[in-house]
Amino acid sequence: MYGDGKVRTRGGAYALHGGNPVWSHANRHIDLWIELLHGWELEPIAALPFTVTLDFEGDQFTSLNIPSADLELLYGIVKDELSTYGRLETHVAAQTNRGNVVLLEVDNYQLPQSPGAYRRQHARSCIAIDVLVPEATAVGYYHHDGYHTASGDDYVSIFRSLDGESSWGAASFPQAEVVRRRFAAQAEDALLRASMDLLRSHLARRPRQNPIKAFREAFPAHLEQLMSRGEPNFQIYAASVLRQLGANFELMGRYVRWLVMNGKVVPDTVAEACYTMASEAMVMQFRLMRAVISHKPDGCQDCLAQLEAAYQGTVPALAACFGETVS
């Protein structure tokens, strides 16, 4: 076996993935990191200052992902590309044997913990492998809402092997990164201070214009495309636009609550505005789904107006609260 063999539990990051969230998942990257950090007994909430930088990019909202520099500052974690010049399985074994974790882009089709998509739907996903048992064709990894295992044919599919040989060629090399806990992680007061420093840094990079205003201006064209392309396209659109918007502000609300719990003074209205953003984005998603299915366009102008107004109570309010310095 390659890895430490420590017993992991599913859905461990309760503070972020537990309870009754509006958005149960954000995306394949942020969901994975929340679980991996918790699995390493680190506090993932401290890594959420980046949420203040969300912007509208014309066709979608910024995809949620913890910046590599933030991971290093807070937790001493370093990410590097994993070169796969030999068998993928061999490289993963070499890294997990050293106590490292391999982030691997895979097809959700062969991940048994996704019952709705298992062997039914192809979609990009990302897993964090920390245990490998080649002789049992078994692998342990973090993914979505916890820790999981795969074996047999699913193991073979993950490593793209056929009759003991690699079945992927130069044109389809897997995207893989190795994650190392290279430096000591910040703890307690030092972690809070480092997180607040990141908040100040990210607030300096926040959008200077309300991104919901830009979204409102682009939405009529989005709606026209949604109505013409139908339901399959809507699922992808919702994940790239509405889920990124809603999940981002739900995470921001959790971060604000964490700051308050740690003695920082933040008006209650900031967290409330964050949850308004999260819930209104979900309402808009349901309305658009109904519009696409019924073939009756819905401009969702009231949702967009509420989102635009609520945004002012989130990022701009945090910037006003902390100014250019965070103590």
CA pseudo-torsion sign 50, 54, 57, 61: positive
- CB-based contact 91:161 (threshold 8 Å): no
Over residues 121-169, the pLDDT tens digits come to 667 788 999 999 988 889 999 987 789 898 888 888 888 654 444 444 4
CA dist 252 and 49 (Å) reads 7
The residues near 98 (Cβ < 8 Å, ≥ 6 apart) are none
Determine the pLDDT at residue 158: 84
Kindly provide the b/e burial profile for residues 39-74, where b requires at least 16 CB atoms within 10 angstroms of the residue's own CB.
bbebbbbbbbbbbbbbebbeebbbbbebeeebbebb
What is the average pLDDT value for the chain, to the nearest integer? 87
**pLDDT 10s digits, 168-213:** 444 355 689 999 999 999 999 999 999 999 999 999 999 999 999 9
pLDDT of residue 199: 97
Q: What pLDDT was estimated at residue 134?
A: 87
Amino acid present at 296: K
Name 55's bridge partners: none
Q: Which residues of the chain have pLDDT under 70?
A: 1-19, 112-122, 160-174, 323-327
Distance CA 92, CA 321 (A): 46
106 DSSP β-pair partners: 125
User: Are 179 and 128 spatial neighbours (Cβ–Cβ below 8 Å)?
Assistant: yes
**Can you give the three-state secondary structure of 226-265, one letter per residue?**
HHHHCHHHHHHHHHHCHHHHHHHHHHHHHHHHHHHHCCCC
Give how far the C-alpha of residue 263 lies from the chain's centroid of Cα atoms, to the nearest Å.
27
